[in-house]
């Protein structure tokens, strides 16, 4: 699942290549991902021009000169590509935009779980849960004080809180493991077991992990002037590193699978939590 580092890397790449360019052609290939009628995209997007690409939570936002926004949430398996038209299409390519200058912006999604919207720029609240979800992790308004205040109403294991979009947007399963490792907090520790200092420290740890991971993610998906996103997180310290040595203390990293979610952590660096086998 793309999280902030991948989406920020993709956003940065697109901002090097898209602003000011026209959409010349639109091909809507697989209907389930389109939350705006595919016919509307085909009929109204050609001739429109891209502005600066933005990100909000796990959405990439493509503002257009017409005053609309193409908003895409890739969910679990969505992938963005910016390739030459002659490049073979991925099997589950859902959307292909022919871009002025000769490249194609493609969106592919193996499980067809993603969501594609075309909405007026001043009506993003038309997107379900847009207004009720929490702030983006990198929003400057999300200060340490705001983070701590916003966390007060949540209970349960701290990892579940970090990945709850109603609290904060943009953190998923992989980078929540990295954040908790950075902060030396066991993912299964309940919020009530943590001190105010620890809860506040998670704010800085989360921002630090995103700043560290984003350029590494971009290195792995950008090939010259082409983007071909594959989820290669070979740089992470603990996520899906079960059985390997912790890069900080050398102890063996533990890995727990529950509810189709893998949680990886170091019991030595991240003590506490319930007794787990």
Sorted by where each begins, the domain ranges of the chain are 4-126, 144-266
* For range 29-57, the mean pLDDT: 97
pLDDT digits (tens, 9 = 90+) for 153-194: 999 999 999 999 999 999 999 999 999 999 999 999 999 999
pLDDT digits (tens, 9 = 90+) for 187-233: 999 999 999 999 999 999 999 999 999 999 999 988 888 898 777 89
* pLDDT of the residue at 274: 67
What is 144-266's CATH number? 1.10.8.50
What's the DSSP call for residue 132? T
Helix (H) or strand (E) segment spanning residue 151: helix 144-151
What is 4-126's CATH number? 3.20.190.10
75, burial (CB in 10 Å: exposed 0-12, middle 13-18, buried 19+): middle
Instruction: Give the residue among 58, 55, 44, 45 at the shortest CA–CA distance from 15.
Output: 55
Strands (E), 64-120: 68-73, 78-83, 93-99, 104-109, 115-120
Rounded CA-CA distance 273/257 in Å is: 16
């Amino acid at each position: 699942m793309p999280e902030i580092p991948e989406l920020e890397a993709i956003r940065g790449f697109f901002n090097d290549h898209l602003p000011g360019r026209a959409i010349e052609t639109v091909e809507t290939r697989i209907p389930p991902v389109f939350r705006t009628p595919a016919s509307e995209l085909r009929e109204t997007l050609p001739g429109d021009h891209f502005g600066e690409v933005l990100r909000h939570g796990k959405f990439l936002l493509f503002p257009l000169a017409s005053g609309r926004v193409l908003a895409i949430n890739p969910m679990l398996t969505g992938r963005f590509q910016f390739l030459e038209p002659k490049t073979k299409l991925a099997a589950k390519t859902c959307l292909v935009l022919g871009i002025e200058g000769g490249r194609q912006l493609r969106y592919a999604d193996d499980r067809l779980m993603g969501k594609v919207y075309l909405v007026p720029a001043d009506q993003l609240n038309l997107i379900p849960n847009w207004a009720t979800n929490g702030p983006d992790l990198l929003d400057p308004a999300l200060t340490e004080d705001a983070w701590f205040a916003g966390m007060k109403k949540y209970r349960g294991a701290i990892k579940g809180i970090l990945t709850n979009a109603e609290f904060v947007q943009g953190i998923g399963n992989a980078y929540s493991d990295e954040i908790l490792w950075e902060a030396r907090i066991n993912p299964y520790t309940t919020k009530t077991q943590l001190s105010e200092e620890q809860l506040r420290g998670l704010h800085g740890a989360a921002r630090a992990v995103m700043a560290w991971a984003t350029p590494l993610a971009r290195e792995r998906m950008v090939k010259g002037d082409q983007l071909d996103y594959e989820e290669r997180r070979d740089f992470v310290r603990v996520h899906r590193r079960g059985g390997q040595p912790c890069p900080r203390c050398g102890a063996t990293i533990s890995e727990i699978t529950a509810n189709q979610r893998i949680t990886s952590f170091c019991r030595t660096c991240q003590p506490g939590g319930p007794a787990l086998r």
